[in-house]
């Protein structure tokens, strides 16, 4: 049982607004929710049974760097 994208996005926006006053950890794989997250912590369990953890801080910032890099390359 999970929310549809529209409501999932509304929840994410509400959490984003409230994050000005408090910290939140939200468990989700919905991209509409991940898009507004400050940090992504990926937890997955491979067949070996030992969980792997990766952290991607501020993916939006990374996307902006990539865009600047593309623009710089085009300028050159």
Partner 1 sequence: MDGNIRIEDLEQHLLFHKAMSENTETYQRIGGYMDILSKAESGEKLPDPVDEAIRSVFSLVLENGIDPWEIDLSEFVRLYNNKVVADAFDMIVAGKLMLMAWKILRMQSDSTRVRSEPPVQDFEMDIDDSFFYENEDDMVVPEVVLTGAFQKEPMRPVTMYELIDAFEEAREEIEVQQERERVRRELKAKEPSKFDNKAHEEDDRRDVEEVWERIQKLGMGQICIEDLYTNDLKENLKTFVSVLHLVRVGRLDVWQETLPYGDIFVEIITEGASGTIEDNTGRIEAVM
Q: How far apart are CA 19 and CA 11, in angstroms?
A: 12
Query: Minimum distance from CB of 76 to partner 1 (Å)?
Result: 16
How many residues make contact with partner 1 (CB under 8 A)?
40
CA dist list (Å): 24 to 28, 30, 69: 12, 16, 32
**Do the Cβ atoms of 39 and 24 come closer than 8 Å?**
no
Asked if 13 is part of the footprint of partner 1 (rule: CB under 8 A), the reply reads: no
| Residues in 17-76 that interact with partner 1 by CB under 8 A | 27-35, 39-40, 42-47, 52-57, 59-60, 62-64, 66-67, 69-70
Spacing of C-alpha 21 from chain mean position: 19
Residues that bind partner 1 in the complex, under the rule CB under 8 A = 2-6, 8-9, 11, 27-35, 39-40, 42-47, 52-57, 59-60, 62-64, 66-67, 69-70
């Amino acid at each position: 049982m999970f929310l549809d994208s529209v409501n999932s996005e509304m929840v994410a926006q509400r959490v984003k607004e409230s994050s000005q006053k408090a910290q939140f950890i939200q468990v989700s794989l919905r991209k509409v929710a991940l898009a507004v997250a400050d940090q992504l912590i990926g937890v997955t369990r491979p067949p070996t049974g030992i969980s792997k953890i990766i952290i991607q801080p501020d993916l939006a910032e990374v996307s902006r760097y990539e865009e600047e890099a593309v623009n710089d390359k085009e300028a050159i």
